[in-house]
Chains A and B, each alone.
Chain A
Amino acid sequence: MLKRTPLFATHVGMGARMVEFGGWEMPVQYSGIIDEHRAVRQGAGLFDISHMGRFMVRGPQAEAFLQYVATCNVAAITLGQANYGLLCQPDGGIVDDIFIYHLLDEYMVVVNASNRDKDWAWLQQHSAGFDVELEDRSERWAMLALQGPAAEQLLAQAEDSTTHDLTHLPFHGVALTTVFGQTALIARTGYTGEDGFELFFAAGAAPEMWQRLLALGDVKPCGLGSRDSLRFEPCLALYGHEISATINPYEARLGWVVKLDKGDFVGREALAAIKQAGPSRRLTGFELVGKGIARGDYAVHSVEGEPVGVVTTGMPSPTLGKPLGIALVPTALSSEGSAFEVIIRDRPVRARAVKMPFYKPRYKK
C-alpha cells in the first residue's frame, strides 16, 4: 500500500497526474512539467512535499549529537537559521542529505522521503550515549514549498502580521509565524534554485492552506516532475542519483559540506583520507555534442569505447532549452571541455563536460 500525504485527495480532485515515488503516491504534474517549471522560474509554484521526513532532536546534547552524525558544522547554525548537511557512513558513503533547522531549544532535521525509515533508524542507532530525545513529526505536520521570485510578495499577503516578518527572513532563516490563521514554521529554504519558502504546519490544515495559497494569485500547483527539473538545472543533488551509499561527498562535489576540523563525526576518518588522496571519480555536468537526450543510468564510455562511468541525471533543460546531464566519471574526465560518450539506446553519442551549475541559483541573500 502506497503512502499518501494529507493532500492526496486534493491532488486527485484537482486533476493532478499521480505516480509512485519512493513508496508514496504523489502528483508528478498538474498543468505540465514545462509550464510548472517556467512558473517557478518566473513567478511562483506550490509543491506538496509532506512526504519528506521531519524529525525533532532535543535535549541537553542535541547539538553534540547532530555534530556527531552530520558532516556540517551544527554549532555554527545559529538560532533561527538552517543549513544543508550530510549523514555519512563510516566509509564516507552518503546515508542522506538533510536540512538542519535550529529552533528554540530543539533542532528539526528534514530528510528525503525515500530515506525516512532508514534515516530514523540511523539517528536512533547513533543517539546511544547522547542525552537526546528524538521525535518523528512527519505525520503530524504537513510541508509545502512556495518557490519562485514572486513567493515573498505572495506569502507576505498570507501572513497574519502587520510587521511582515517573513519578508525580513534571511536566506535559510526559519521563524514561527501565522499564515491564514494557522501557526506555521516558515523557512527561506527550497530545492529549485529560486528564492522561496518551505512551510510546516498542522497536517489537518493542509487542504485549506493549499487552496488559499493557490488563491493568492499567480501560483501554479506543481508536481514532482518540475521539482526534479528545477533542482536539476542548479545541479542540486538528488539521493539515489548524484549521491548514494556508494558515492562520497568529494565525488559528489559536496566537500564544502564536510567540516573535517569541527571534531569527531561519523565518517570523518574515511572522509579525511579520501580528501587527502583526492577522489578517483567525480560528478561533472555535460552537454551532448551529438543528437539525443541522456537519461539517468545511461552508461558513459571514454572516446576509446571503454565503460568509465554513468549518467546520474539527464533531461532536456526547460530553461536552457537543450539536453543536459550530470555524470559520475573518472576525475580526469570531469574538467570542463573533457570529451566522453554517453550510450543512448546502444549508440555512443559524444558529450562534452561543462561547468555546474547549469543555472545559477537566484537566492535572496
Chain B
Amino acid sequence: MSISIPGDLRYSTSDEWVRTEGEEVVIGITDYAQDALGDVVYIELPAVGTVLTPGESFGVIESVKASSDLYAPIGGEVVAVNSDLEANQEPINQDPYGAGWLLRIRPSGEEEPLMDATAYAAYCEERAH
C-alpha cells in the first residue's frame, strides 16, 4: 500500500498536514492517518473563532474501531471549518488533502516542529513494521 505525501505541505508528528494559502493556513489529517484510522464515521471540530495553541487538542475523529484526538500543528484563530464533514465524513478517507480538509486558520506565528514531505515519509516508514 502506498501512502500519498504531497511535496508542498508540512507535517506534524501527530499526522496532521499544513498548507499555507496566502495569509491563512489549511489543516487536515494525512493519508497515513486516514488509512490507519479506517472508515471515519464521526468528527468533532471547534467553532469558528476558537483560538488554538500549538499542540492543543482541537477535536476528535472516530472510526468504527477507534477514537483519536486531533492536535493543532500551528497556533491561531479558526476562521473556517469544513462543516460538510459533519454529515459525511467520507472525504477524509477519500481525499484527505482536498475535500477532507478540516480547518482554516489565521496563524499566530506559533508552531509545533513541522516536517517536510521527505522527513514525514521517513517518519511514516519508521512506523510501518
Binding site for B on A (CB under 8 A): 15, 28-29, 32-35, 37, 225, 228-229, 291-293, 295, 315-316, 318, 323, 345
CB-defined A-B contacts under 8 Å, sample of 25 = A15-B1, A28-B65, A29-B65, A32-B39, A33-B39, A33-B65, A34-B39, A34-B41, A34-B64, A37-B64, A225-B38, A225-B64, A229-B64, A291-B44, A292-B42, A293-B62, A293-B67, A295-B67, A315-B64, A315-B65, A316-B41, A316-B42, A316-B62, A316-B64, A323-B42
Majority SS of interface residues in chain B? strand
Interface residues of B in 10-69 (CB under 8 A from A): 38-39, 41-42, 44, 60, 62-65, 67
Closest 6 CB pairs of A and B: A33-B64, A316-B41, A34-B39, A293-B62, A225-B65, A32-B39
Q: B98-109 CB contact bits vs A (8 Å, 1 = yes)?
A: 000000000000
CB contacts (< 8 Å) of A292 on chain B: these are: 42, 44
B80 to chain A, nearest CB (A): 21
Residues B42 and A293 in contact, CB atoms below 8 Å apart = yes
CA distance A157 to B94 in the complex (A): 37
Q: How far is it, in angstroms, between the C-alpha of A15 and the C-alpha of B128 when the chains are bound?
A: 13
Closest chain A residue to B69, Cβ basis: A345
Q: How many chain B residues touch A (Cβ–Cβ < 8 Å)?
A: 12
The one of A15, A33, A228, A345 that contacts B38, using a Cβ cutoff of 8 Å: A33
Whether A345 pairs with B65 at a CB distance below 8 angstroms is no
Q: Which residue of chain A has its CB nearest to the CB of B1?
A: A15
B110 to chain A, nearest CB (A): 24
Residue of B nearest to A315 (CB): B64
Q: How far is the CB of B90 from chain A (nearest CB, A)?
A: 11
B60 near A345 (CB under 8 angstroms)? yes
12 additional A-B residue pairs with CB within 8 Å, beyond A33-B39, A316-B42, A316-B62: A29-B65, A32-B38, A32-B39, A34-B41, A225-B38, A292-B42, A293-B42, A295-B67, A316-B64, A318-B64, A323-B42, A345-B60
Chain A residues contacting B64 (CB-CB under 8 Å) are 33-34, 37, 225, 229, 315-316, 318
> Of all chain A residues, which has the CB nearest B63?
A33
Most-contacted residue by chain B among A35, A292, A293, A295 (CB, 10 A)? A293
**How far apart sit A59 and B43, CA to CA, in the bound complex (Å)?**
57
Q: How far is the CA of A28 from the CA of B37 in the complex (A)?
A: 12
How near does chain A come to B57, taking the closest CB pair, in angstroms?
Answer: 9
Q: How far is the CA of A225 from the CA of B41 in the complex (A)?
A: 15
Q: Which of B41, B62, B63 counts the most chain A CB atoms within 10 A?
A: B41
What distance in Å separates the Cβ of A220 from its nearest Cβ neighbour in chain B? 14
A272 and B65 CA atoms in complex are apart in Å by 38
| B129 closest partner in A (C-beta) | A18
Query: Once the chains are docked, how many angstroms separate the CA of A318 from the CA of B38?
Result: 13
Q: Which residues of A contact B63 (CB under 8 A)?
A: 33
The complex places the Cα of A120 from the Cα of B62 at a distance, in Å, of 38
Instruction: Name the B residues within 8 Å of A34 (CB-CB).
Output: 39, 41, 64
Q: Look across to chain B and name the residue whose beta carbon is closest to the beta carbon of A318.
A: B64
Once bound together, how far apart are the Cα atoms of A247 and B127, in whole Å? 38
Distance between B25 CB and nearest chain A CB, rounded to angstroms = 26
Q: Which residues of B contact A228 (CB under 8 A)?
A: 65
Least distance between B42 CB and chain A CB atoms (Å): 6
Measured CA separation A55–B30 after assembly (Å): 46
Min CB gap A13→B, angstroms:
13
Cβ contacts under 8 Å, B38 to chain A = 29, 32-33, 225
Nearest chain A CB to B67's CB is how many angstroms away? 6
**How far, in whole Å, are A37 and B60 apart by their CA atoms in the complex?**
24
A37 to B67, CA, bound (A): 19
Q: Which residues from A are CB-within-8-Å of B65?
A: 28-29, 33, 225, 228, 315
Which of A15, A228, A229, A292 has the most C-beta atoms of chain B within 10 angstroms of its own C-beta?
A292
User: Cβ of B67: which chain A residues have Cβ within 8 Å of it?
Assistant: 293, 295
Q: Which residue on chain A has the smallest CB distance to residue B35?
A: A17
Q: How far is the CB of A19 from chain B (nearest CB, A)?
A: 9
Which chain A positions have C-beta within 8 A of B41? 34, 293, 316
